[in-house]
Chains A and B, each alone.
Chain A
């Protein structure tokens, strides 16, 4: 069943259809919130708020304007920026990167591309560093990179979401990507 069918069912009052949507997008929305806010609890709050707002406004969702995934992402990013405005997070708390484990999905995706365990291990180490370096970037660069490569949004879409000019998004993407590349190079991971 695709998203639009599920949305129609939700609008008609089928809560289980909404549960399916939550299950499908939960990890991505939480991931965005977590990478932007760098705070596990706040990320959960924002992710929940995103789904609640989505539920309340499902009838306003227009599939001709874009996918449900993008709509949800835009909502999450705006809520993250609102949360950032309310509180200052920078340097407030360090997040629990150490207890992150490879989940089954990531293992599968790695095993497709890797020929042996060493490559798998290297890829995972590099990803750990990418996650760490990503957090050290300014929030604007981080948001642009996550939306571009995590959500596969175009530069124009990102500009619209973050309410900034296209040139600014291009600059953020360029600087963010270059900073990550330079840091990974220094760490000998690339």
Chain B
């Protein structure tokens, strides 16, 4: 206990005690020290004043435009997904209705035609090879 007779040495313990982090034996040491040390008592009071002042200076009013800007950003955030969804559905429906008309086919025949194109897709990949082999056959005849 003698090792803590110096105020500077006991400071960290006082700090822990104020933060509620001190162990029972440390609490006892601090309390014994505070009983006979007016200077440390004064420092604790000063710390409390500072803590109170920090709490008091923390809240600050932003500029008046803050609320409007936040509202704009929030509105954008809220409305955007709904608007996008409605727009994309509208566009898809228009396309679905317009494309068969454009190709002068009934919707069913258009769908069957689209499916046949789709299924013929793997054969398209072979086309360039076909062209090369055809070309190779034609070139000797030309020469």
Contact = CB atoms under 8 A, between A and B. Distances in A.
Q: Do A and B bind each other?
A: yes
A52 B73 contact: yes
Contact of B54 (A28, A52, A130): A130
B50 A109 contact: no
Nearest to A19: B71
A78 interface: no
Contacts of A19: 71
Nearest to A49: B73
B59 A27 contact: yes
A74 interface: no
Given A48-B70, A173-B19, A174-B15, A35 B78 contact: no
B62 A30 contact: yes
Interface stretch (B27-35, B41-49, B96-104, B114-122): B41-49
B95 to A, nearest CB: 31
Given A30-B61, A174-B15, A127 B56 contact: yes
Interface residues of A, number: 49
Interface in B61-97: 61-63, 66-67, 69-71, 73-74, 77-78
A190 B46 contact: yes
A47 B47 contact: no
Contact of A28 (B11, B50, B59): B59
A181 B61 contact: no
A37 to B, nearest CB: 12
A101 B15 CA distance: 33
Interface residues of B, number: 34
B9 interface: no
A35 B59 CA distance: 10
B51 A149 contact: yes
A4 interface: no
A109 B77 contact: no
Nearest to A151: B58
A133 B81 CA distance: 46
Contacts of A109: 56
Contacts of B47: 177, 181
A28 to B, nearest CB: 5
B61 A174 contact: no
B129 interface: no
A180 to B, nearest CB: 5
A150 B54 contact: yes
A181 B45 CA distance: 11
A185 B50 CA distance: 11
B53 interface: yes
A134 interface: yes
Interface of A: 15, 18-19, 22, 26-28, 30-32, 34-35, 40, 43-44, 47-48, 51-52, 55-56, 100, 103, 105-106, 109, 126-127, 130-131, 134, 145-146, 148-152, 154-155, 170, 173-174, 177, 180-181, 184-185, 190
Interface of B: 11-12, 15-16, 19-21, 43, 46-47, 49-63, 66-67, 69-71, 73-74, 77-78
7 contacts: A26-B67, A103-B61, A126-B53, A148-B51, A149-B50, A149-B55, A150-B54
